[in-house]
């Protein structure tokens, strides 16, 4: 117990003494988590952001997943597999407050970097992960009809149901196995009709 209090005191001192360098622009950082706790950590950080009204400092929390088709008992089914088990990506302005909030979220063991000092992802790393670094502006609005021009949903046409400027995505309904299913499509992957 005294060890836990000592660690907490050390972290508070690091934050109050300004040992965490503040960034002037939002960057993507990688937080290491216990394996299997990625979604819980993501939800906890998002709840803290909402409770403390930090939407302007911590912009997005992501657990990269990939859709994989599995054969089980002779049936095909699509499941989401984590691309990086044990890691959560956080797009934020690095400062003492944001560092402290992410670092002290239950399940987070630290940031990726030397001596757990956060190092932002480089441009090439973000590109390899499919993270768009430049903001894209679209001329589509809710209710407009768009066509998907690249990606898994290429060729699909749908009506824009929602636009998320922060994530740079639009939500449309796509027909999957005879059912309308809402999917998010990146701004770069669509064209207004």
Integer angstrom CA distances of residue 82 from 63, 72, 160: 7, 19, 28
Q: What pLDDT is attached to residue 1?
A: 38
Q: What pLDDT is attached to residue 155?
A: 87
The percent of the chain in helix, strand and coil, each rounded to the nearest 5, is 25, 35, 40
What is the full per-residue pLDDT of the chain (193 aa) written as tens digits? 334 334 444 444 444 444 455 557 788 999 999 989 999 999 999 999 999 998 889 988 988 888 877 777 778 888 888 888 999 999 999 999 999 999 999 999 999 888 768 888 887 777 777 665 556 677 788 888 888 887 778 888 888 898 887 677 888 888 888 888 888 888 878 888 8
Integer angstrom CA distances of residue 26 from 22, 54, 167, 188, 192: 10, 13, 13, 20, 29
Q: Which residues pair with 72 in a beta bridge?
A: 75
Q: What span, in angstroms and rounded, lies between the C-alpha atoms of 157 and 23?
A: 40
């Amino acid at each position: 117990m005294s060890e836990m209090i000592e660690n907490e005191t050390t972290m508070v001192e690091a934050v109050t003494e300004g040992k965490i360098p503040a960034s002037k622009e939002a960057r993507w950082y990688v937080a290491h988590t216990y394996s299997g706790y990625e979604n819980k950590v993501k939800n906890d950080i998002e709840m803290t952001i909402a409770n403390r009204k930090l939407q302007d400092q911590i912009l997005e929390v992501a657990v990269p997943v990939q859709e994989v088709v599995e054969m089980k008992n002779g049936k095909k089914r699509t499941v989401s597999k984590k691309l990086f088990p044990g890691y959560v990506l956080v797009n934020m302005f690095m400062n003492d407050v944001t560092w402290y909030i992410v670092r002290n979220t239950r399940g987070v063991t630290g940031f990726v970097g030397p001596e757990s000092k956060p190092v932002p992802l480089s441009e090439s790393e973000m590109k390899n992960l499919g993270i768009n670094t430049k903001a894209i502006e679209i001329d589509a609005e809710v209710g407009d009809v768009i066509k998907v021009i690249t990606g898994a949903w290429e060729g699909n046409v749908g009506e824009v149901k929602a636009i998320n400027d922060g994530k740079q995505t639009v939500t449309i309904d796509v027909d999957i196995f005879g059912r309308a299913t809402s999917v998010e499509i990146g701004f770069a992957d669509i064209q207004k009709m």
